[in-house]
Chain A
Amino acid sequence: MTRTKVAYESAGGQVSWQYDWDDVTLKILQFRCTNTTTQNTRGTLTSQSTGQTVSQLVGPNNPASPSPWSQNVPSAVADRFALRVDSRGRLDGLDHNFEYPA
């Protein structure tokens, strides 16, 4: 499954962050961003259970042909990003913070 967050949008472009997780293991697999603005953005994922973080600064891109940034979460780290299912059956266990400009 994928979650998408349009973290910032204006007349000057858009910052879109996404992360994927495995539906069976509930581990975060990939973290990525497309930045079509002229300034940096920073995205941070934090595991609520372990405090483990993945943080990335993504520079500006040419709005006409944005080049997305992506990172596979290393398997050793992915274990620490295992999500949970709460008492209401919702996925839980991950915080995010997206900043613009960074």
Chain B
Amino acid sequence: MAYQSNTTAGDSSGPTLTIAIPAGATTDWILLMHFYGEVSLGLTPTFDVGTWTKITAASGQQLGESTDFEVYRYWARWGTQSGNIVISWGGANIWRAAACLAFSGRLTSGDPQDATATFTAAGAANTTATMNGLTVGHASADLILLESDVNGSAHTGWTLGTERVDFGGQGIATVDAQGSGASGNQTVSIASSFYTGAQIVLQVAGAAAAIVNKALQARQAVKRASTY
């Protein structure tokens, strides 16, 4: 009950982008959308299917580079929709790429994140991209490491996780059943490029209930002890 599947689309120019819904996506699965576009200051992506909430985004002009890019990450709690998702941003013809990842067994209401996502926007000729760590609140979390760069890098040497996406300069790895506590800063090797790096964590369903059950068990144990 964790990472299930992914789809990718783009790594080409166009005024919109159509991406398939990941295989098996069904009610209460969490979908994570990662969208990259080469443009300066000001895309507002919209989606024709699903209700998407922004997790992180970055945009802006990169001094010294001929190409700038923006990157957006969203989550959606899925229903019964199938087929494709069309991403739109007002019709500008831009270079773009996207990846959509599906997770099962996550929280079925509210924000599915277990901690605030971390984010780094690095404007330098790096060959190592860093994804800053966060503090996972509950065990059995899904930890997601994301890197996005302008040079279309292939990704190698993830220091944590299993690579799920290596497409058009977008690299994503996941860790199933991440324990609680600090996830640590993680890195991946890329071509020399400026980049963004992020860590996102999804909470397992039933974690809160498990805490309640432990409290209940403790109260029952005290009651039994006092009975004897």
Beta-carbon contact of B119 and A86 below 8 Å: no
A57 at the interface (CB under 8 A from B): no
Indicate which residue in A7, A88, A93, A95 contacts B58 across the interface (CB closer than 8 Å): A7
Tell me the complex Cα distance, A90–B116, Å: 37
A83 contact set on B, CB distance < 8 A:
63-64
B192 contact set on A, CB distance < 8 A:
none
Tell me the complex Cα distance, A3–B66, Å: 14
Which of B27-35, B49-57, B202-210, B215-223 is found at the contact surface with chain A? B49-57
Beta-carbon contact of A86 and B56 below 8 Å: no
Mark contacts of B112-139 with chain A using CB atoms, 8 A cut-off: 1 yes-contact digit, 0 otherwise: 0000111111111100000010000000
Beta-carbon contact of B119 and A96 below 8 Å: no
Beta-carbon contact of B121 and A101 below 8 Å: no
Tell me the complex Cα distance, A57–B60, Å: 20
A64 contact set on B, CB distance < 8 A:
none
Indicate which residue in B55, B60, B116, B124 contacts A3 across the interface (CB closer than 8 Å): B60
B59 at the interface (CB under 8 A from A): yes
A46 at the interface (CB under 8 A from B): yes
- The tally of residues in A whose CB lies under 8 Å from a CB in B reads 27
Beta-carbon contact of B60 and A5 below 8 Å: yes
Beta-carbon contact of A7 and B121 below 8 Å: yes
Shortest Cβ distance from A7 into chain B, in angstroms? Answer: 5
Beta-carbon contact of A99 and B60 below 8 Å: no
A22 at the interface (CB under 8 A from B): no
Tell me the complex Cα distance, A99–B120, Å: 4
CB nearest to A93 among chain B residues: B64
B82 at the interface (CB under 8 A from A): no
B56 contact set on A, CB distance < 8 A:
8-10
Beta-carbon contact of A10 and B54 below 8 Å: yes
A31 at the interface (CB under 8 A from B): no
Give chain B interface residues in 96-153, CB to chain A under 8 Å: 116-125, 132
The contact sample of 6 A-B pairs, CB cut-off 8 A, is: A3-B61, A7-B121, A10-B54, A10-B56, A88-B66, A94-B64
Chain B residues within CB distance 8 Å of chain A: 41, 53-66, 116-125, 132
Chain A residues within CB distance 8 Å of chain B: 3-11, 19, 39, 46, 83, 86, 88, 90-101
